[in-house]
Structure 1
Amino acid sequence: MDTMRDRFVPVVSRLLDEDPRVAVVLAEIGAASLAEAQLRHPERVINVGIREQLLVGAGAGLALTGMRPVLHTFASFLVERPFEQVKLDLGHQGVGAVLVSAAASFDWPAGGLTHMAPGDVALLDTLDGWTVHVPGHPDEAETLLRHAVAAGDDKVYVRLSVQSNADALPVDGERFLPVREGRSGVVVAVGPMLDSVLDATEGLDVTVLYATTVRPFDATALRRATRTAGTDVVLVEPYLAGTSTAAANDALADVPHRVLGLGVARPELRRYGTVEEHLAAHGLDVRSLRECIDGFVRGGRAGTRG
């Protein structure tokens, strides 16, 4: 199966052919893969070199002229390094763009912390008006990328990862999808965490919701699920643990509830390892997830992890 990033290149190439408003801005990463598209549309495929602040600034300039810019590089270089430009050039000027990242939280462990961005969604949460898509399968990445480009002039972040679920689901860029029903709690699985969550909750009496669009947070779906499953909620996110706990708390503010946020922990892992080893170290492997989720919905102390 191809990866989400493998899917990005042909999809954005077709979007360039289909829509004269679409422009792609790169900071060296991905430029070789889009060389053919650049030959067809030299004025709308722009490589600014290793200048990530300029990447965002150029995208904002294109948006000011009425274009729909798609900006692409690793998440740490797209959200963290040029954050001031994301805040000012896009947000302060009131223009939109589609930011499409690669590498996720630790997709390339050998790159070290410079190429890891577990805090990207939490950082965008400090700004107003961002839509955030976290696909869990290449097919979903294609759907959500097309949705993002077509979303008027909104500010949209599409978070791609090499981690993937086995099967795609019919995502719509808005709602959480119920994939399992139970009566002893609700588990929200974000993007590529779905398969692990389903394995971890096998035999547990819990409802599982699948989230590929996490901002805006689908409070309606969560509230609906808690009516039959109870108000113990576990969030399993492939980025910084607790990123969405405030959103879940706000959704259930008028009812007694408990929320547990599982995700990437704050301490830095200083050994490269593999993606699977990083998942286990952060408690996002199937065994650790089952221990935490089962302990939490039973009211035990195991639910305090993360």
Structure 2
Amino acid sequence: MRERFVETTTALLAEDPRTALVLADISADAFAPAAYRHPDRVLNVGIREQLLLGVTGGLALTGLRPIAHSYAPFLIERAYEQIKLDLDHQGVGAVLVSIGASYDRAESGRTHLSPADVSLIDTLHGWTVHVPGHPDEVPALLRDAVAGDGSAYLRLSTLRNARPYGGDGALRVLRDAGPGAPLLVAVGPVLDAALAAVGDLGVTVAYTHRPRPFDTAGLRALAGDTVVLVEPYLAGTSTRVVSAALADRPHRLLALGVGRGELRRYGSAEDHTRWHGLGAAGLRRSVTGFLDAAPVPAGR
């Protein structure tokens, strides 16, 4: 995904003089050719993430369409106040593109883990969040975000599904178990594991790479009384959205994702997937346990 981001951004800088790129050393080597060709629109502020967002806001105020890029914990967590003030408070938009996701660089320790990034963006108003599940989904999502004028967050990962799924982010049914069946919604790169987990169960599986704005109309059309939400970041991040969309009907909701407890082990991304129960086996245990624990009808 990172390579597709570099390729697409380099092309956008050449095609559209409104596009700008702000870096904080991360990926600077990959963008060196673009910086040579467009020195006024490719800026590297060094390891100063708050300045990264301050410059991004300033460029947006001049009428440019800036892309700000770094690792997720540096871009979102470390510079959150600047996102809130230098973008939102000033009423300007930008495109934030992260790498590292929740635990892609787990071997680098806690400084490089960021499962709460989407939750932080969710405290702001009107943001679009894209969580692609395959590298081939990245170019169209990035181009659409840059072509707009609002604020967008594109969350890239080393984890991926076997194939891309296009579309605008509306829920896409990949396995239909029929009317009234439990619905599992998978976001981004957890799709393949989710499909494997429920392969022999009567569960409908829908996919999205755009958790914000969440496709609530699609959710209402597909959901019966049981919904399972699988997200590759902090568990429960989209619970409020799903619950609000289904507030007028009885439903049960299981929200799966990265746990809140800190794992004081480095390991690999694959280890963390297993430890958080986001592999096929872990999801299978969680989903079957939830389905088997269906509530007893009233009066029995």
**TM interval, short-chain normalised:** over 0.9
Q: Which residue in the other structure is 1:165 paired with?
A: 161
Unmatched runs of 5 consecutive residues or more in structure 1: 302-306
Identity %: 56
Does the alignment pair 1:77 with 2:51? no
Does the alignment pair 1:67 with 2:64? yes
Q: Secondary structure at the match of 2:159?
A: coil
Aligned length: 293
Which amino acid in structure 2 is aligned with residue 15 of structure 1? L
1:115-159: per-residue Cα shift (whole Å, max 9, x none)? 1100000011111111100000001111111111111x1000000
Q: Secondary structure at the match of 2:166?
A: coil
How far, CA to CA, are the matches of 1:265 and 1:254 in structure 2?
29
Does the alignment pair 1:255 with 2:252? no
How far, CA to CA, are the matches of 2:280 and 2:294 in structure 1?
19
Q: Secondary structure at the match of 1:213?
A: coil
Does the alignment pair 1:274 with 2:268? yes
Q: Which residue in the other structure is 1:125 paired with?
A: 122
Q: Which residue in the other structure is 1:287 paired with?
A: 281
Q: Offset at 1:40? A: 0.7
Q: Is the 8 A contact 1:196 1:286 kept in 2?
A: yes
Q: Is the 8 A contact 1:103 1:161 kept in 2?
A: yes
Q: Which residue in the other structure is 1:135 paired with?
A: 132
1:272-303: per-residue Cα shift (whole Å, max 9, x none)? 111111011111111110111122233359xx
| TM-score normalized by the length of structure 1 | 0.94
| TM-score normalized by the length of structure 2 | 0.96
Which amino acid in structure 1 is aligned with residue 120 of structure 2? L
Q: Is the 8 A contact 1:237 1:263 kept in 2?
A: yes
Moved over 4 A (4+): none
How far, CA to CA, are the matches of 1:170 and 1:110 in structure 2?
32
1:153-183: per-residue Cα shift (whole Å, max 9, x none)? 10000000000001011222x4121111114
How far, CA to CA, are the matches of 2:290 and 2:194 in structure 1?
14
Specify which of 171, 174, 177 is matched with residue 176 of structure 1.
171
Specify which of 1, 19, 29 is matched with residue 32 of structure 1.
29
How far, CA to CA, are the matches of 1:115 and 1:43 in structure 2?
30
Counting only pairs closer than 5 Å after superposition, residues 90-129 of structure 1 correspond to structure 2 as 90-129=87-126
Q: Is the 8 A contact 1:175 1:211 kept in 2?
A: yes
